[in-house]
Chains A and B, each alone.
Chain A
Amino acid sequence: MLFNSLDFAVFLPIVFVLYWFVTQRNLKIQNILILVSSYVFYGWWDYRFLALITFSTVIDYLIGLQLAKSEDQSKRKLLLWTSILVNIGFLGFFKYYNFFVDNFVEAFSFFGNEIQPNTLYIILPVGISFYTFQTLSYTIDIYKRKLKPTSDFVAFGAFVSFFPQLVAGPIERATNLLPQFYKKREFKYNNAVDGLRQILWGLFKKIVIADNCAYFVNTIFDNYTDYGASTLFLGAVFFAFQIYGDFSGYSDIAIGTSRLFGFNLKQNFAFPYFSRDIAEFWRRWHISLSTWFRDYVYIPLGGSRGSIWNQIRNVFIIFLVSGFWHGANWTFIVWGGLNALYFLPLLIIKRNRVHTNVVAEFKVFPNLKECFGMLFTFIITVIAWVFFRADSVSHATQYLSRIVDVSFFNIPEIRPTFLFVLIFIFILIEWAGRRQLYAIQTLWFRFPRIIRLFIYYLIAMTIFLYGGKEQEFIYFQF
């Protein structure tokens, strides 16, 4: 079920009413409602996916309990590895099996040995990369004794499958989300209104910005040989807005929906395109995934301790693994590697934690240095996004090589004025609201309520009037 679909528009109010009016008095029943609704939400795509998430939930629930009981270190390790192998095994099979088979076949044929590939027709279960990481964090945290396991199977099942963030995150840690299932949730008017406001902004990002950009991105990327350099660059810039609008929009809707049910999820995007260097960008982009890799891969590898070579190795590992997490294609690995290369100079000169505050925090406009930093970071990010969007590495390299041309200074062949205007307004609002958890959180609070409502009405009508053709969320495929 897509957030931007009529199905969800019917599903959400039904669950909301049942949640607050029918099941409110009994926490257990309320959690059962969340569990059942989440399974309905997930099964809406394909009921067969439910078997996988159920199995993953049962395994990690049982392993969690066993881990807490056992004091024997070798048994605990065995249990942890069982959880890792089961979860990564599912992920590996459904997401990467054909990739590895194809690449082995290619490698063999390179050495003159032709072998028949045995690829399978595998449907990638939506959101598997997200809930797999979520359950993994649960068992790892119990293993590290940072978390006590739950004996409440319903609460655990609801934590794994919680529908607002099930298919595209944010990837919540058990330490943050699971305890919220133990406590009675109370309806608070301000929280619910805040949730709705965040949903509205998420829908704007997705339907107005991302879906409209998607149309031009698809046209330009699919016919890149027909266009000049300036249009190709514009296509890449549009993709930067598409992926941001798409993914951060999804996160906003997920977080907002959770707030309607009395849950608080972590911020997943913190205005990444206002970053002054690539290190800041990665602290602000897909925060839940970056911190997951930081805590469960980077730090166990030694992190930023040890020799400079170890640090470089760790940075490369984390970016390459992160790239590969996004999809079974070399394009994602190259995208990860490119970001690692961007990051290295900052690491070597030890300037990777310079910008930890909000840009122009107490000012209206940024200074020249900040402008240059943001522009430079944005441009190198756009270049990397070309690999992320392209069908293959050669597609990306050809696309980029065509951008380096004198026609870069020509007027682009594609000039959607309405989209330029929408993106401009979008940037202004995001800039004005960059100190908040999401742009419009408190942006117009100084205005009288009626004016504020009118602005929300305008946003909603813009979604209705300018909504692009319904597209799936990009991150569903990851």
Chain B
Amino acid sequence: MKRFLLHIVLFLIILIVSGFIILCQADGHTDAFYTKFTTKKQNALIIGSSRAAQGIQPKVINNLISNLSIYNYAFSRVHTPYGKPYLSSIQKKLDPNTSNSIFLVEVNPWSISKQKGEELDSTYFEEQDSFLGKVKNPNSNPNLTYLLNYYNGRNVEILTKKGKNYHGETLFVHSDGWFEVKLKDSLERTTSRIKSTVKSYKNIRNEYEGKSNVRMAFLIKTIQFLHEHGSVYLIRLPVNDDMLQIENSLMPRFDSDIMELSRMLNTPYINLMPSRNNYEYTDGHHLNYESGQEVSKIIAELIKKEKL
């Protein structure tokens, strides 16, 4: 028996060590979220949905605003609508000693809406069962909780998905949290991608009821929490006309609601939607690399002006 146990323990140790070494290879190529849970606590944050994750480039902002090292801690429509889980994750990601910092809070109708049949109250949120609610330490490298429970790919892909041009496309989370997406683009491909995204969002729209008072309350709580550590800017990123139409049908009074909130909390609202036709999108609502760069620059300039 002792011999058996000794052999099995040795064999398991070798396996666990091998597995651990492989998991340690996970990085920004692994998926769209993993590295955001592996960096240290931050002093300035960009928060919001995938639009912000892809569209707001911290490097551009940091270059234009001195002494700023802003980190992109935005995820996706599904994972980070405003609610208790996201607020709690932000609280864990933010260095508690932070003061006089800058926070960009991206808002859109999806992030403060309620899905049909979703039983929201101030204690339960659907996303709390996803990695956002379950990863208790978002500052650990490697983050085994995430990799073992929420990484969706096969582990072999941690080793093989390397290099910036996987399948000729770039999907990479930078060390500042920005999710760089460069797809194989041609007019035909982009048009077809936009068409299919708009179609799918029309269906998603039907899954949503409209504005949620609970989510709105948590957006306010999030802003109030961030106010304790610096200046907060509400940002609405642009989308194309078709996507805007869908969003308007979901929440026709979105802009006026956010403006009211902006006044109430004394928080500037940067609405980039009116200039939406100046930009290009990978799929109708995510800014492409160049447009993201441009938008990030505009945001930085506006903040600089505001600060002065």
Contacts and interface: CB of A to CB of B under 8 A. Distances in A.
Interface of A: 6, 20, 187, 189, 192-193, 196, 212, 418, 453, 456-457, 460-461, 464-469
Interface residues of B, number: 17
Contacts of B159: 465
Interface string B1-22: 1011001100100110011001
Contacts of B15: 457, 460-461, 464
Interface string B184-223: 0000000000000000000000000000000000000000
Given A466-B154, A467-B154, A467-B155, A457 B22 contact: no
B3 A465 contact: no
B196 to A, nearest CB: 13
Contacts of B148: 6
A272 to B, nearest CB: 27
A465 B156 contact: yes
Nearest to A467: B154
A464 B155 contact: yes
A380 to B, nearest CB: 32
B131 to A, nearest CB: 15
Count chain B CB atoms within 10 A of each CB in A187, A465, A467 and give the residue with the most. A465
Nearest to A211: B154
Contact of B4 (A189, A453, A466): A189
B152 interface: yes
Nearest to A191: B4
B11 A453 contact: yes
28 contacts: A20-B1, A187-B4, A189-B1, A189-B3, A192-B4, A193-B4, A193-B7, A196-B8, A212-B154, A418-B156, A453-B11, A456-B11, A457-B11, A457-B14, A457-B18, A460-B15, A461-B19, A464-B15, A464-B18, A465-B154, A465-B155, A465-B156, A465-B159, A466-B154, A466-B156, A467-B154, A467-B155, A469-B152
A465 B154 CA distance: 6
A187 B3 CA distance: 12
Nearest to A468: B154
Contacts of B1: 20, 187, 189
Contacts of A192: 4
A189 B4 CA distance: 6
Nearest to A17: B5
Contacts of A6: 148
A187 B1 CA distance: 7
Contacts of B18: 457, 461, 464
A410 to B, nearest CB: 22
B11 to A, nearest CB: 7
A469 to B, nearest CB: 7
Interface in B1-48: 1, 3-4, 7-8, 11, 14-15, 18-19, 22
Interface of B: 1, 3-4, 7-8, 11, 14-15, 18-19, 22, 148, 152, 154-156, 159
B17 to A, nearest CB: 11
Contacts of B3: 189
Nearest to A208: B154
A467 B8 CA distance: 22
A57 to B, nearest CB: 31
A254 B156 CA distance: 27
Contacts of B11: 453, 456-457
A327 to B, nearest CB: 28
Given A20-B1, A457-B14, A464 B19 contact: yes
A465 B158 CA distance: 9
Contacts of B152: 469
B4 A464 contact: no
Contacts of B14: 457
Contacts of A460: 15
A192 B15 CA distance: 19
Contacts of B7: 193
A4 B203 CA distance: 35
Contacts of B154: 212, 465-468
A465 B8 contact: no
Count chain B CB atoms within 10 A of each CB in A187, A418, A461 and give the residue with the most. A461
Contacts of A456: 11
A452 to B, nearest CB: 12
A329 B3 CA distance: 50
Contacts of A465: 22, 154-156, 159
Contacts of A196: 8
B30 to A, nearest CB: 14
Given A6-B148, A212-B154, 16 more contacts: A189-B1, A196-B8, A456-B11, A457-B11, A460-B15, A461-B18, A461-B19, A464-B15, A464-B18, A465-B22, A466-B154, A466-B156, A467-B154, A467-B155, A468-B154, A469-B152
3 A-B pairs with least C-beta separation: A465-B156, A465-B155, A187-B1
A467 B148 CA distance: 12
Contacts of A20: 1
B155 to A, nearest CB: 5
A467 B157 CA distance: 11
B192 to A, nearest CB: 15
A362 B155 CA distance: 40
A457 B13 CA distance: 11
Contacts of B156: 418, 465-466
Nearest to A189: B4
B213 to A, nearest CB: 32
Contacts of A189: 1, 3-4
A193 B8 CA distance: 9
A447 to B, nearest CB: 17
A20 B14 CA distance: 25
A189 B148 CA distance: 32
A466 B3 CA distance: 31
A464 B8 contact: no
Nearest to B16: A464
A189 B3 CA distance: 8
Nearest to B8: A196
Count chain A CB atoms within 10 A of each CB in B1, B14, B148, B154 and give the residue with the most. B154
Count chain B CB atoms within 10 A of each CB in A456, A457, A464 and give the residue with the most. A464
Contacts of A467: 154-155
Contacts of B155: 464-467
A106 B4 CA distance: 60
A469 B153 CA distance: 8
Nearest to A21: B1
A298 B1 CA distance: 45
B25 to A, nearest CB: 11
Contacts of B8: 196
A464 B15 CA distance: 9
A279 B161 CA distance: 46
Nearest to B3: A189
A189 B6 CA distance: 12
A464 B151 CA distance: 13
A461 B15 CA distance: 7
A125 B18 CA distance: 39
